[in-house]
Structure 1
Protein backbone atom coordinates (compact mmCIF):
# COMPACT_ATOMS: atom_id res chain seq x y z
CA UNK A 1 0.00 0.00 0.00
CA UNK A 2 1.43 3.33 -1.08
CA UNK A 3 -0.96 5.69 0.68
CA UNK A 4 -4.01 5.18 2.86
CA UNK A 5 -6.77 7.58 1.89
CA UNK A 6 -10.28 8.59 2.85
CA UNK A 7 -13.16 9.95 0.81
CA UNK A 8 -14.13 13.53 1.58
CA UNK A 9 -17.79 12.43 1.79
CA UNK A 10 -16.96 10.85 5.14
CA UNK A 11 -16.60 14.42 6.40
CA UNK A 12 -18.80 16.62 4.25
CA UNK A 13 -21.05 16.94 1.21
CA UNK A 14 -18.39 19.33 -0.07
CA UNK A 15 -20.54 22.19 -1.29
CA UNK A 16 -18.17 24.96 -0.15
CA UNK A 17 -14.45 25.69 -0.16
CA UNK A 18 -14.38 25.84 3.62
CA UNK A 19 -16.02 22.43 3.99
CA UNK A 20 -13.40 20.83 1.77
CA UNK A 21 -10.53 22.48 3.64
CA UNK A 22 -11.94 21.23 6.93
CA UNK A 23 -12.27 17.74 5.43
CA UNK A 24 -8.59 17.89 4.47
CA UNK A 25 -7.64 18.96 7.97
CA UNK A 26 -9.69 16.18 9.59
CA UNK A 27 -8.18 13.59 7.23
CA UNK A 28 -4.65 14.66 8.06
CA UNK A 29 -5.39 14.75 11.80
CA UNK A 30 -6.51 11.10 11.60
CA UNK A 31 -3.28 10.12 9.86
CA UNK A 32 -4.53 9.64 6.30
CA UNK A 33 -2.13 10.54 3.51
CA UNK A 34 -4.63 10.99 0.68
CA UNK A 35 -8.06 12.56 0.36
CA UNK A 36 -10.48 11.60 -2.38
CA UNK A 37 -12.64 14.39 -3.75
CA UNK A 38 -15.56 14.45 -6.12
CA UNK A 39 -14.97 16.46 -9.29
CA UNK A 40 -14.70 20.14 -8.41
CA UNK A 41 -15.73 22.63 -11.05
CA UNK A 42 -13.03 25.29 -11.47
CA UNK A 43 -15.68 28.01 -11.73
CA UNK A 44 -17.00 27.11 -8.28
CA UNK A 45 -13.86 26.28 -6.27
CA UNK A 46 -10.41 27.82 -5.90
CA UNK A 47 -8.34 24.82 -6.99
CA UNK A 48 -5.00 26.53 -6.37
CA UNK A 49 -5.97 27.25 -2.78
CA UNK A 50 -7.14 23.67 -2.21
CA UNK A 51 -3.90 22.38 -3.72
CA UNK A 52 -1.84 24.54 -1.37
CA UNK A 53 -3.86 23.44 1.65
CA UNK A 54 -3.45 19.77 0.77
CA UNK A 55 0.29 20.20 0.29
CA UNK A 56 0.64 21.98 3.62
CA UNK A 57 -1.08 19.00 5.27
CA UNK A 58 1.06 16.44 3.38
CA UNK A 59 -2.05 15.09 1.65
CA UNK A 60 -2.21 13.77 -1.89
CA UNK A 61 -5.44 14.12 -3.84
CA UNK A 62 -7.48 11.66 -5.87
CA UNK A 63 -10.60 12.69 -7.77
CA UNK A 64 -13.49 10.38 -8.67
CA UNK A 65 -16.71 11.07 -10.53
CA UNK A 66 -19.40 9.64 -12.74
CA UNK A 67 -20.75 11.01 -16.01
CA UNK A 68 -24.27 12.39 -16.43
CA UNK A 69 -26.72 11.03 -19.04
CA UNK A 70 -26.29 14.08 -21.27
CA UNK A 71 -22.51 13.51 -21.34
CA UNK A 72 -22.52 9.72 -21.56
CA UNK A 73 -19.57 8.53 -23.66
CA UNK A 74 -21.21 5.08 -23.93
CA UNK A 75 -24.17 6.62 -25.74
CA UNK A 76 -24.86 6.23 -29.46
CA UNK A 77 -25.72 9.93 -29.55
CA UNK A 78 -22.67 11.64 -31.04
CA UNK A 79 -23.48 14.93 -29.29
CA UNK A 80 -23.62 13.26 -25.86
CA UNK A 81 -20.35 11.46 -26.52
CA UNK A 82 -18.67 14.73 -27.55
CA UNK A 83 -19.94 16.44 -24.40
CA UNK A 84 -18.56 13.56 -22.35
CA UNK A 85 -15.17 13.70 -24.03
CA UNK A 86 -14.97 17.45 -23.50
CA UNK A 87 -15.99 17.04 -19.86
CA UNK A 88 -13.33 14.38 -19.26
CA UNK A 89 -10.68 16.56 -20.89
CA UNK A 90 -11.67 19.41 -18.59
CA UNK A 91 -11.62 17.15 -15.55
CA UNK A 92 -8.08 16.00 -16.35
CA UNK A 93 -6.99 19.65 -16.37
CA UNK A 94 -8.80 20.32 -13.10
CA UNK A 95 -7.20 17.31 -11.42
CA UNK A 96 -3.80 18.52 -12.63
CA UNK A 97 -4.49 22.04 -11.35
CA UNK A 98 -5.51 20.84 -7.91
CA UNK A 99 -2.35 18.74 -7.70
CA UNK A 100 -4.20 15.45 -8.00
CA UNK A 101 -2.47 12.13 -8.64
CA UNK A 102 -5.44 9.95 -9.68
CA UNK A 103 -8.66 10.34 -11.68
CA UNK A 104 -11.11 7.49 -11.25
CA UNK A 105 -14.74 6.51 -11.00
CA UNK A 106 -17.38 5.82 -13.61
CA UNK A 107 -15.66 7.68 -16.42
CA UNK A 108 -16.86 5.35 -19.17
CA UNK A 109 -20.66 5.73 -18.82
CA UNK A 110 -23.32 7.65 -16.99
CA UNK A 111 -23.59 6.98 -13.28
CA UNK A 112 -26.99 5.45 -12.73
CA UNK A 113 -29.32 2.57 -13.44
CA UNK A 114 -29.78 1.87 -17.15
CA UNK A 115 -32.98 0.56 -18.68
CA UNK A 116 -31.23 -1.52 -21.36
CA UNK A 117 -28.09 -3.49 -22.12
CA UNK A 118 -25.13 -1.55 -23.56
CA UNK A 119 -24.94 -1.52 -27.34
CA UNK A 120 -21.87 -2.47 -29.35
CA UNK A 121 -21.74 1.03 -30.79
CA UNK A 122 -22.01 2.58 -27.36
CA UNK A 123 -19.26 0.39 -25.95
CA UNK A 124 -17.04 1.28 -28.90
CA UNK A 125 -17.66 4.99 -28.31
CA UNK A 126 -16.76 4.57 -24.65
CA UNK A 127 -13.55 2.69 -25.42
CA UNK A 128 -12.47 5.40 -27.85
CA UNK A 129 -13.31 8.19 -25.40
CA UNK A 130 -11.33 6.57 -22.60
CA UNK A 131 -8.37 5.97 -24.92
CA UNK A 132 -8.33 9.70 -25.74
CA UNK A 133 -8.68 10.67 -22.09
CA UNK A 134 -5.88 8.30 -21.11
CA UNK A 135 -3.41 10.12 -23.34
CA UNK A 136 -4.38 13.45 -21.78
CA UNK A 137 -4.04 12.02 -18.28
CA UNK A 138 -0.69 10.44 -19.08
CA UNK A 139 0.65 13.76 -20.36
CA UNK A 140 -0.59 15.46 -17.17
CA UNK A 141 1.05 12.85 -14.92
CA UNK A 142 -2.29 11.56 -13.63
CA UNK A 143 -3.25 7.91 -13.14
CA UNK A 144 -6.49 7.12 -14.99
CA UNK A 145 -8.47 4.33 -13.33
CA UNK A 146 -11.91 2.96 -14.23
CA UNK A 147 -14.14 1.97 -11.35
CA UNK A 148 -15.93 -1.36 -11.74
CA UNK A 149 -19.32 -0.89 -10.06
CA UNK A 150 -22.53 -2.80 -9.49
CA UNK A 151 -25.37 -3.28 -11.97
CA UNK A 152 -27.49 -0.51 -10.49
CA UNK A 153 -24.82 2.16 -11.17
CA UNK A 154 -23.75 1.25 -14.73
CA UNK A 155 -24.54 -1.35 -17.38
CA UNK A 156 -21.03 -1.51 -18.83
CA UNK A 157 -18.37 -2.58 -16.30
CA UNK A 158 -19.77 -4.69 -13.46
CA UNK A 159 -17.00 -7.28 -13.09
CA UNK A 160 -13.23 -7.29 -13.08
CA UNK A 161 -13.19 -9.50 -16.18
CA UNK A 162 -15.30 -6.94 -18.06
CA UNK A 163 -12.98 -4.19 -16.89
CA UNK A 164 -9.88 -6.03 -18.08
CA UNK A 165 -11.41 -6.63 -21.51
CA UNK A 166 -12.38 -2.96 -21.73
CA UNK A 167 -8.95 -1.57 -20.91
CA UNK A 168 -7.35 -4.01 -23.33
CA UNK A 169 -9.71 -2.71 -26.03
CA UNK A 170 -8.45 0.85 -25.43
CA UNK A 171 -4.98 -0.24 -26.55
CA UNK A 172 -3.56 2.08 -23.89
CA UNK A 173 -1.05 1.22 -21.18
CA UNK A 174 -2.20 4.31 -19.27
CA UNK A 175 -5.53 2.86 -18.09
CA UNK A 176 -5.95 0.69 -15.01
CA UNK A 177 -8.83 -0.65 -12.96
CA UNK A 178 -10.34 0.89 -9.86
CA UNK A 179 -11.80 -1.93 -7.75
CA UNK A 180 -14.12 -1.48 -4.77
CA UNK A 181 -15.01 -4.09 -2.16
CA UNK A 182 -18.61 -2.82 -1.87
CA UNK A 183 -19.27 -3.39 -5.56
CA UNK A 184 -17.24 -6.61 -5.74
CA UNK A 185 -19.30 -8.03 -2.91
CA UNK A 186 -22.37 -7.68 -5.14
CA UNK A 187 -21.02 -8.72 -8.53
CA UNK A 188 -18.02 -11.03 -8.13
CA UNK A 189 -18.44 -14.74 -7.37
CA UNK A 190 -15.07 -14.59 -5.62
CA UNK A 191 -13.70 -11.09 -4.94
CA UNK A 192 -10.27 -12.36 -3.89
CA UNK A 193 -9.95 -14.36 -7.12
CA UNK A 194 -10.96 -11.26 -9.08
CA UNK A 195 -8.18 -9.29 -7.41
CA UNK A 196 -5.66 -11.96 -8.35
CA UNK A 197 -7.02 -12.01 -11.91
CA UNK A 198 -6.50 -8.26 -12.27
CA UNK A 199 -3.04 -8.28 -10.72
CA UNK A 200 -0.95 -5.28 -11.68
CA UNK A 201 -3.80 -3.84 -13.75
CA UNK A 202 -5.32 -2.52 -10.50
CA UNK A 203 -4.45 1.15 -10.15
CA UNK A 204 -6.65 2.19 -7.23
CA UNK A 205 -8.61 0.36 -4.55
CA UNK A 206 -11.64 1.27 -2.45
CA UNK A 207 -12.34 -0.35 0.90
CA UNK A 208 -16.01 -0.13 1.82
CA UNK A 209 -18.38 -2.32 3.81
CA UNK A 210 -21.41 -4.12 2.35
CA UNK A 211 -23.78 -1.72 4.16
CA UNK A 212 -21.65 1.38 3.44
CA UNK A 213 -21.03 1.77 7.17
CA UNK A 214 -18.39 0.73 9.69
CA UNK A 215 -15.81 -1.74 8.40
CA UNK A 216 -16.38 -5.17 9.93
CA UNK A 217 -20.05 -4.45 10.50
CA UNK A 218 -21.21 -6.12 7.28
CA UNK A 219 -20.70 -9.26 5.24
CA UNK A 220 -17.42 -8.65 3.38
CA UNK A 221 -14.60 -11.11 4.05
CA UNK A 222 -11.73 -8.67 4.44
CA UNK A 223 -9.16 -11.31 5.38
CA UNK A 224 -9.43 -12.84 1.91
CA UNK A 225 -9.32 -9.37 0.31
CA UNK A 226 -6.09 -8.39 2.04
CA UNK A 227 -4.52 -11.79 1.41
CA UNK A 228 -5.20 -11.30 -2.31
CA UNK A 229 -3.82 -7.76 -2.32
CA UNK A 230 -0.66 -9.05 -0.69
CA UNK A 231 -0.42 -11.93 -3.15
CA UNK A 232 -0.39 -9.55 -6.12
CA UNK A 233 2.05 -7.25 -4.31
CA UNK A 234 -0.38 -4.33 -4.51
CA UNK A 235 1.55 -1.15 -3.76
CA UNK A 236 -0.82 1.56 -4.88
CA UNK A 237 -3.37 3.58 -2.95
CA UNK A 238 -6.17 2.21 -0.78
CA UNK A 239 -9.00 4.58 0.12
CA UNK A 240 -11.77 4.14 2.65
CA UNK A 241 -15.23 5.02 1.37
CA UNK A 242 -18.41 5.21 3.41
CA UNK A 243 -21.66 7.06 2.77
CA UNK A 244 -24.36 8.12 5.20
CA UNK A 245 -27.46 10.21 4.79
CA UNK A 246 -26.08 12.35 7.61
CA UNK A 247 -23.37 13.77 5.34
CA UNK A 248 -23.62 12.85 1.67
CA UNK A 249 -25.08 15.39 -0.76
CA UNK A 250 -28.46 14.91 -2.42
CA UNK A 251 -27.20 14.07 -5.91
CA UNK A 252 -25.01 11.23 -4.65
CA UNK A 253 -27.76 10.03 -2.32
CA UNK A 254 -29.98 9.58 -5.35
CA UNK A 255 -27.29 7.97 -7.53
CA UNK A 256 -26.09 5.55 -4.83
CA UNK A 257 -29.43 5.00 -3.04
CA UNK A 258 -28.25 6.35 0.31
CA UNK A 259 -31.61 6.39 2.06
CA UNK A 260 -30.55 6.13 5.70
CA UNK A 261 -27.86 7.05 8.19
CA UNK A 262 -25.36 4.21 8.49
CA UNK A 263 -23.48 6.44 10.94
CA UNK A 264 -23.84 10.01 12.22
CA UNK A 265 -20.41 10.91 13.62
CA UNK A 266 -17.55 11.10 11.11
CA UNK A 267 -14.55 11.14 13.44
CA UNK A 268 -14.95 7.74 15.17
CA UNK A 269 -15.84 6.18 11.80
CA UNK A 270 -12.65 7.51 10.21
CA UNK A 271 -10.42 6.50 13.12
CA UNK A 272 -11.94 3.03 13.19
CA UNK A 273 -11.45 2.63 9.41
CA UNK A 274 -7.76 3.53 9.56
CA UNK A 275 -7.13 1.13 12.44
CA UNK A 276 -9.18 -1.63 10.78
CA UNK A 277 -7.39 -1.40 7.43
CA UNK A 278 -3.96 -1.32 9.03
CA UNK A 279 -4.89 -4.29 11.24
CA UNK A 280 -6.12 -6.36 8.30
CA UNK A 281 -3.03 -5.46 6.28
CA UNK A 282 -0.71 -6.50 9.13
CA UNK A 283 -2.63 -9.72 9.78
CA UNK A 284 -2.35 -10.66 6.11
CA UNK A 285 1.40 -10.01 6.20
CA UNK A 286 1.76 -12.27 9.24
CA UNK A 287 -0.25 -15.03 7.54
CA UNK A 288 1.90 -14.80 4.44
CA UNK A 289 5.10 -14.90 6.51
CA UNK A 290 3.87 -17.98 8.38
CA UNK A 291 3.08 -19.81 5.13
CA UNK A 292 6.42 -18.83 3.57
CA UNK A 293 8.47 -19.88 6.60
CA UNK A 294 10.19 -23.28 6.05
Structure 2
Protein backbone atom coordinates (compact mmCIF):
# COMPACT_ATOMS: atom_id res chain seq x y z
CA UNK A 1 0.00 0.00 0.00
CA UNK A 2 1.28 3.44 -0.92
CA UNK A 3 0.46 6.37 1.38
CA UNK A 4 0.31 9.68 -0.45
CA UNK A 5 -0.54 13.36 -0.30
CA UNK A 6 -2.39 15.58 -2.72
CA UNK A 7 -0.07 18.24 -4.16
CA UNK A 8 -2.57 21.00 -3.30
CA UNK A 9 -1.61 20.53 0.33
CA UNK A 10 1.58 22.38 -0.60
CA UNK A 11 0.96 24.55 -3.65
CA UNK A 12 -1.71 25.95 -5.95
CA UNK A 13 0.60 26.34 -8.96
CA UNK A 14 2.37 23.70 -10.97
CA UNK A 15 5.15 25.48 -12.79
CA UNK A 16 8.69 24.30 -12.01
CA UNK A 17 8.86 26.10 -8.67
CA UNK A 18 5.44 24.88 -7.52
CA UNK A 19 5.88 21.27 -8.57
CA UNK A 20 9.38 21.11 -7.10
CA UNK A 21 8.06 22.43 -3.79
CA UNK A 22 5.18 19.95 -3.70
CA UNK A 23 7.35 16.94 -4.51
CA UNK A 24 10.08 17.96 -2.07
CA UNK A 25 7.61 18.58 0.76
CA UNK A 26 5.70 15.35 0.09
CA UNK A 27 8.92 13.38 0.38
CA UNK A 28 10.00 15.25 3.52
CA UNK A 29 6.66 14.50 5.21
CA UNK A 30 7.31 10.77 4.78
CA UNK A 31 4.80 9.92 2.06
CA UNK A 32 5.37 7.33 -0.68
CA UNK A 33 3.36 9.06 -3.38
CA UNK A 34 2.17 12.44 -4.61
CA UNK A 35 -1.12 13.04 -6.42
CA UNK A 36 -0.69 15.74 -9.05
CA UNK A 37 -3.83 17.62 -10.18
CA UNK A 38 -3.81 18.24 -13.93
CA UNK A 39 -5.74 21.49 -13.82
CA UNK A 40 -4.25 22.69 -17.11
CA UNK A 41 -2.90 19.67 -19.03
CA UNK A 42 -1.90 21.79 -22.02
CA UNK A 43 0.75 23.64 -20.00
CA UNK A 44 1.94 20.80 -17.76
CA UNK A 45 5.64 19.95 -18.20
CA UNK A 46 5.64 16.17 -18.15
CA UNK A 47 9.40 15.82 -18.70
CA UNK A 48 10.11 18.07 -15.73
CA UNK A 49 7.67 16.06 -13.60
CA UNK A 50 9.37 12.78 -14.50
CA UNK A 51 12.80 14.22 -13.70
CA UNK A 52 11.70 15.55 -10.31
CA UNK A 53 9.92 12.33 -9.36
CA UNK A 54 13.03 10.35 -10.23
CA UNK A 55 15.29 12.73 -8.30
CA UNK A 56 13.14 12.44 -5.18
CA UNK A 57 12.33 8.74 -5.63
CA UNK A 58 8.60 9.40 -5.31
CA UNK A 59 5.69 7.64 -7.01
CA UNK A 60 2.92 9.74 -8.55
CA UNK A 61 -0.69 9.61 -9.67
CA UNK A 62 -2.71 12.27 -11.47
CA UNK A 63 -6.23 13.58 -11.02
CA UNK A 64 -8.63 16.15 -12.40
CA UNK A 65 -12.24 17.22 -12.50
CA UNK A 66 -13.84 18.06 -15.82
CA UNK A 67 -15.54 21.40 -16.42
CA UNK A 68 -18.77 22.47 -18.13
CA UNK A 69 -16.89 22.84 -21.42
CA UNK A 70 -15.47 19.28 -21.19
CA UNK A 71 -18.49 17.54 -19.63
CA UNK A 72 -18.86 13.96 -20.90
CA UNK A 73 -22.57 13.99 -19.98
CA UNK A 74 -23.29 17.13 -22.00
CA UNK A 75 -25.93 17.17 -24.73
CA UNK A 76 -23.43 19.14 -26.81
CA UNK A 77 -21.20 16.74 -28.80
CA UNK A 78 -18.46 19.40 -28.92
CA UNK A 79 -18.20 19.42 -25.13
CA UNK A 80 -18.02 15.63 -25.01
CA UNK A 81 -15.35 15.57 -27.71
CA UNK A 82 -13.35 18.23 -25.88
CA UNK A 83 -13.55 16.21 -22.68
CA UNK A 84 -12.35 13.07 -24.42
CA UNK A 85 -9.42 14.93 -25.98
CA UNK A 86 -8.44 16.36 -22.60
CA UNK A 87 -8.56 12.96 -20.92
CA UNK A 88 -6.47 11.44 -23.71
CA UNK A 89 -3.86 14.13 -23.14
CA UNK A 90 -3.95 13.39 -19.41
CA UNK A 91 -3.25 9.73 -20.14
CA UNK A 92 -0.24 10.75 -22.20
CA UNK A 93 1.00 12.96 -19.35
CA UNK A 94 0.64 10.20 -16.75
CA UNK A 95 2.46 7.76 -19.03
CA UNK A 96 5.21 10.32 -19.71
CA UNK A 97 6.00 10.98 -16.04
CA UNK A 98 5.93 7.25 -15.21
CA UNK A 99 2.58 7.05 -13.42
CA UNK A 100 0.05 4.25 -13.62
CA UNK A 101 -3.18 5.89 -12.32
CA UNK A 102 -5.53 8.64 -13.41
CA UNK A 103 -8.39 9.41 -11.04
CA UNK A 104 -10.97 11.99 -10.06
CA UNK A 105 -14.22 13.29 -11.53
CA UNK A 106 -13.33 12.24 -15.06
CA UNK A 107 -16.84 11.13 -16.08
CA UNK A 108 -18.76 14.45 -15.75
CA UNK A 109 -18.15 18.07 -14.91
CA UNK A 110 -17.24 18.73 -11.27
CA UNK A 111 -20.07 21.15 -10.57
CA UNK A 112 -23.53 21.44 -9.10
CA UNK A 113 -26.15 20.22 -11.58
CA UNK A 114 -29.71 21.47 -11.43
CA UNK A 115 -31.26 18.26 -12.83
CA UNK A 116 -30.58 14.50 -12.60
CA UNK A 117 -28.25 13.04 -15.20
CA UNK A 118 -30.10 12.07 -18.37
CA UNK A 119 -29.98 8.56 -19.81
CA UNK A 120 -28.28 9.89 -22.92
CA UNK A 121 -25.77 11.85 -20.85
CA UNK A 122 -24.91 8.82 -18.76
CA UNK A 123 -24.54 6.68 -21.87
CA UNK A 124 -22.31 9.30 -23.46
CA UNK A 125 -20.02 9.33 -20.44
CA UNK A 126 -19.84 5.53 -20.26
CA UNK A 127 -18.98 5.34 -23.95
CA UNK A 128 -16.08 7.77 -23.57
CA UNK A 129 -14.77 6.03 -20.44
CA UNK A 130 -14.92 2.74 -22.34
CA UNK A 131 -12.76 4.14 -25.13
CA UNK A 132 -10.45 5.82 -22.66
CA UNK A 133 -10.05 2.59 -20.69
CA UNK A 134 -8.99 0.73 -23.81
CA UNK A 135 -6.34 3.34 -24.55
CA UNK A 136 -5.25 3.44 -20.90
CA UNK A 137 -4.80 -0.34 -20.86
CA UNK A 138 -2.34 -0.06 -23.73
CA UNK A 139 -0.32 2.44 -21.67
CA UNK A 140 -0.47 0.39 -18.49
CA UNK A 141 -2.68 2.98 -16.77
CA UNK A 142 -5.55 2.36 -14.36
CA UNK A 143 -8.60 4.68 -14.18
CA UNK A 144 -10.42 5.32 -10.91
CA UNK A 145 -13.76 7.15 -10.95
CA UNK A 146 -14.19 9.33 -7.87
CA UNK A 147 -17.52 9.18 -6.06
CA UNK A 148 -18.35 12.73 -4.96
CA UNK A 149 -21.25 14.45 -3.25
CA UNK A 150 -24.46 15.74 -4.83
CA UNK A 151 -23.08 19.27 -5.19
CA UNK A 152 -20.20 18.12 -7.42
CA UNK A 153 -21.84 15.61 -9.78
CA UNK A 154 -25.22 14.06 -10.58
CA UNK A 155 -23.81 10.78 -11.93
CA UNK A 156 -22.57 8.88 -8.86
CA UNK A 157 -22.80 9.96 -5.23
CA UNK A 158 -22.39 6.58 -3.49
CA UNK A 159 -20.23 3.52 -3.86
CA UNK A 160 -23.18 1.43 -5.05
CA UNK A 161 -24.01 3.99 -7.72
CA UNK A 162 -20.42 3.78 -8.92
CA UNK A 163 -20.70 0.01 -9.23
CA UNK A 164 -23.70 0.45 -11.49
CA UNK A 165 -21.72 2.78 -13.73
CA UNK A 166 -18.76 0.38 -13.80
CA UNK A 167 -21.09 -2.36 -15.05
CA UNK A 168 -21.75 -0.17 -18.08
CA UNK A 169 -18.03 0.33 -18.67
CA UNK A 170 -16.85 -3.24 -17.99
CA UNK A 171 -13.07 -2.79 -18.13
CA UNK A 172 -10.74 -4.41 -15.62
CA UNK A 173 -8.58 -1.28 -15.47
CA UNK A 174 -11.45 0.96 -14.29
CA UNK A 175 -12.31 1.04 -10.59
CA UNK A 176 -14.11 2.95 -7.85
CA UNK A 177 -12.41 5.87 -6.11
CA UNK A 178 -13.80 6.49 -2.60
CA UNK A 179 -13.26 9.73 -0.67
CA UNK A 180 -14.12 9.93 3.04
CA UNK A 181 -15.06 13.62 2.80
CA UNK A 182 -17.77 12.82 0.24
CA UNK A 183 -18.77 9.55 1.93
CA UNK A 184 -19.37 11.47 5.15
CA UNK A 185 -22.01 13.49 3.28
CA UNK A 186 -23.70 10.80 1.20
CA UNK A 187 -23.22 7.33 2.71
CA UNK A 188 -25.11 5.80 5.63
CA UNK A 189 -21.83 4.84 7.29
CA UNK A 190 -18.16 4.52 6.38
CA UNK A 191 -17.80 0.76 6.78
CA UNK A 192 -20.42 -0.97 4.61
CA UNK A 193 -19.71 1.04 1.41
CA UNK A 194 -16.12 -0.22 1.48
CA UNK A 195 -17.42 -3.78 1.66
CA UNK A 196 -19.94 -3.01 -1.09
CA UNK A 197 -17.25 -2.03 -3.59
CA UNK A 198 -14.74 -4.60 -2.27
CA UNK A 199 -12.56 -5.89 -5.14
CA UNK A 200 -13.53 -2.95 -7.37
CA UNK A 201 -12.00 -0.32 -5.08
CA UNK A 202 -8.90 1.11 -6.74
CA UNK A 203 -8.17 4.44 -5.06
CA UNK A 204 -8.83 6.17 -1.73
CA UNK A 205 -8.88 9.81 -0.66
CA UNK A 206 -8.76 10.61 3.04
CA UNK A 207 -10.37 13.95 3.80
CA UNK A 208 -11.87 15.30 7.00
CA UNK A 209 -15.46 16.62 7.14
CA UNK A 210 -14.20 20.22 7.04
CA UNK A 211 -11.14 19.38 4.87
CA UNK A 212 -8.73 20.23 7.69
CA UNK A 213 -6.61 18.12 10.04
CA UNK A 214 -7.51 14.42 10.03
CA UNK A 215 -9.24 13.39 13.24
CA UNK A 216 -10.51 16.89 14.08
CA UNK A 217 -13.91 16.56 12.37
CA UNK A 218 -16.80 14.11 12.15
CA UNK A 219 -15.45 11.45 9.75
CA UNK A 220 -15.47 7.96 11.28
CA UNK A 221 -11.98 6.94 10.19
CA UNK A 222 -11.94 3.94 12.52
CA UNK A 223 -14.80 2.27 10.66
CA UNK A 224 -13.37 3.21 7.27
CA UNK A 225 -9.96 1.68 7.98
CA UNK A 226 -11.62 -1.43 9.38
CA UNK A 227 -13.43 -1.71 6.06
CA UNK A 228 -10.19 -1.41 4.11
CA UNK A 229 -8.62 -4.10 6.27
CA UNK A 230 -11.64 -6.39 5.89
CA UNK A 231 -11.43 -6.37 2.07
CA UNK A 232 -7.63 -6.52 2.00
CA UNK A 233 -7.32 -3.24 0.13
CA UNK A 234 -3.75 -2.59 -1.01
CA UNK A 235 -4.08 0.40 -3.38
CA UNK A 236 -3.13 4.06 -2.92
CA UNK A 237 -4.38 5.93 0.14
CA UNK A 238 -4.00 9.67 -0.42
CA UNK A 239 -4.48 12.53 2.04
CA UNK A 240 -6.46 15.45 0.63
CA UNK A 241 -6.96 18.82 2.33
CA UNK A 242 -7.60 22.31 1.03
CA UNK A 243 -6.93 25.78 2.39
CA UNK A 244 -7.90 29.03 0.72
CA UNK A 245 -4.33 30.24 1.32
CA UNK A 246 -2.94 27.49 -0.94
CA UNK A 247 -5.59 26.32 -3.42
CA UNK A 248 -5.78 28.43 -6.57
CA UNK A 249 -8.68 30.86 -6.92
CA UNK A 250 -10.72 28.96 -9.53
CA UNK A 251 -10.60 25.70 -7.58
CA UNK A 252 -11.47 27.53 -4.36
CA UNK A 253 -14.67 28.71 -6.04
CA UNK A 254 -15.53 25.26 -7.35
CA UNK A 255 -14.95 23.50 -4.02
CA UNK A 256 -16.26 26.29 -1.80
CA UNK A 257 -12.99 26.77 0.09
CA UNK A 258 -13.99 29.97 1.89
CA UNK A 259 -12.07 29.57 5.14
CA UNK A 260 -8.64 28.61 6.37
CA UNK A 261 -8.43 25.57 8.64
CA UNK A 262 -4.64 25.46 8.39
CA UNK A 263 -1.71 27.51 7.19
CA UNK A 264 1.31 25.30 7.96
CA UNK A 265 1.47 22.70 5.17
CA UNK A 266 4.44 20.91 6.74
CA UNK A 267 2.68 20.40 10.07
CA UNK A 268 -0.59 19.36 8.39
CA UNK A 269 1.17 16.83 6.12
CA UNK A 270 3.35 15.37 8.86
CA UNK A 271 0.30 14.94 11.08
CA UNK A 272 -1.63 13.25 8.24
CA UNK A 273 1.16 10.81 7.46
CA UNK A 274 1.41 9.75 11.09
CA UNK A 275 -2.39 9.59 11.48
CA UNK A 276 -2.83 7.32 8.44
CA UNK A 277 -0.02 4.95 9.37
CA UNK A 278 -1.28 4.73 12.96
CA UNK A 279 -4.79 3.89 11.71
CA UNK A 280 -3.39 1.17 9.47
CA UNK A 281 -1.32 -0.27 12.31
CA UNK A 282 -4.35 -0.23 14.61
CA UNK A 283 -6.53 -2.28 12.24
CA UNK A 284 -3.64 -4.69 11.57
CA UNK A 285 -3.50 -5.36 15.30
CA UNK A 286 -7.08 -6.66 15.24
CA UNK A 287 -5.69 -9.94 13.91
CA UNK A 288 -3.99 -10.41 17.28
CA UNK A 289 -7.24 -10.17 19.25
For Structure 1 versus Structure 2, the TM-score category normalised by the shorter chain is: over 0.9
Aligned residues: 289
Offset at 1:171? 2.1
Separation (CA, whole Å) in 1 of partners of 2:287 and 2:190: 19
Separation (CA, whole Å) in 1 of partners of 2:112 and 2:196: 27
CA RMSD of aligned residues (A): 1.1
CA contact (8 A) 1:8 1:14 kept: no
TM-score (norm 2): 0.97
Q: Per-residue displacement from partner, 1:88-109 (whole Å, max 9, x unpaired)?
A: 1111111111222210000000
CA contact (8 A) 1:17 1:45 kept: no
Separation (CA, whole Å) in 2 of partners of 1:195 and 1:289: 22
Q: Which residue of 2 aligns with 1:239?
A: 238
Offset at 1:282? 0.7
Matches within 5 A, 1:1-294: 2-39=1-38, 41=40, 43-290=42-289
Q: More deviation in 127-136 or 279-288?
A: 279-288
Q: Per-residue displacement from partner, 1:126-161 (whole Å, max 9, x unpaired)?
A: 010111111111111111000000001111110101
Q: More deviation in 141-150 or 8-17?
A: 8-17
Aligned partner of residue 64 in structure 2, secondary structure: strand
Aligned partner of residue 100 in structure 1, secondary structure: coil
CA contact (8 A) 1:40 1:94 kept: no
Q: Per-residue displacement from partner, 1:216-242 (whole Å, max 9, x unpaired)?
A: 000011111111100000011100000
Aligned partner of residue 191 in structure 2, secondary structure: helix
Separation (CA, whole Å) in 1 of partners of 2:189 and 2:41: 40
Separation (CA, whole Å) in 1 of partners of 2:59 and 2:100: 7
Separation (CA, whole Å) in 2 of partners of 1:260 and 1:40: 22
CA contact (8 A) 1:75 1:81 kept: yes
TM-score (norm 1): 0.96
Unmatched runs of 5 consecutive residues or more in structure 2: none
Aligned partner of residue 55 in structure 1, secondary structure: helix
